Structure 1
Amino acid sequence: MRPLLDEVQLLEDYHKGTLPEDQQLDVEVRLLWDQELQQKLARQQRAYKVLRMYGRRQLRAELEAIHVRLFG
């Protein structure tokens, strides 16, 4: 199980751009050759996008509730 978590963390750091340069290059090379890793990265990026959209909706709903309380 741990190698799977390590890979998720690696892809997250790659996505955020927080990997050291040598690791960044290593991931980029692996992505060129490993279709499964490409798919994992794509799924992880979609998950981040969905979470951001959900967070924005939640924030929008909270702001609307505040507006209604303040201005009726």
Structure 2
Amino acid sequence: MNEIKQIEDHLFRLTPPEDSLLFEAKIILDSNLRSNVLLQQQTYMLVQQYGRKTLKAEIDAVHQQIFTNPEHKNFVSKILSFFKK
């Protein structure tokens, strides 16, 4: 778990510059650590992509609910009027 925390701190730039430089040297020297850093970095990217995809789905659902529900007709008209010239 200590290595995971060190990798996380390095990836999110939470370590002081001198510690970061030392950790980068360790990455160069230790192929197992280098592999773990890459895997953890990929994991964070996947989590971020999933979060974006989930947020987009939620926004689309709200959009569908507002723009298809007749009770929101006045609100939709006001919103659309902003984009008309």
Cross-structure match for 2:19: 23
**Aligned pairs, how many?**
68
1:61 to partner: Cα distance: 0.4
Give me the TM-score of the superposition, normalised by structure 1: 0.91
Higher relative helix content: 1
Give me the TM-score of the superposition, normalised by structure 2: 0.77
Q: Which structure is larger by alpha-carbon Rg, 1 or 2?
A: 2
**Aligned with 1:64 (options 60, 66, 70):** 60
1:34 to partner: Cα distance: 0.4
Name segments (4+ residues, structure 1) moved above 3 Å.
Answer: none
Q: Which runs of 5+ in 1 are unaligned?
A: none
User: How large is the RMSD of aligned CA atoms in angstroms?
Assistant: 0.6
Question: For 1:70 and 1:33, how far apart are their aligned partners in 2?
Answer: 56
Q: Which has the higher contact order (CA 8 A, sep 6+)?
A: 1
What is the aligned-residue identity percentage? 29
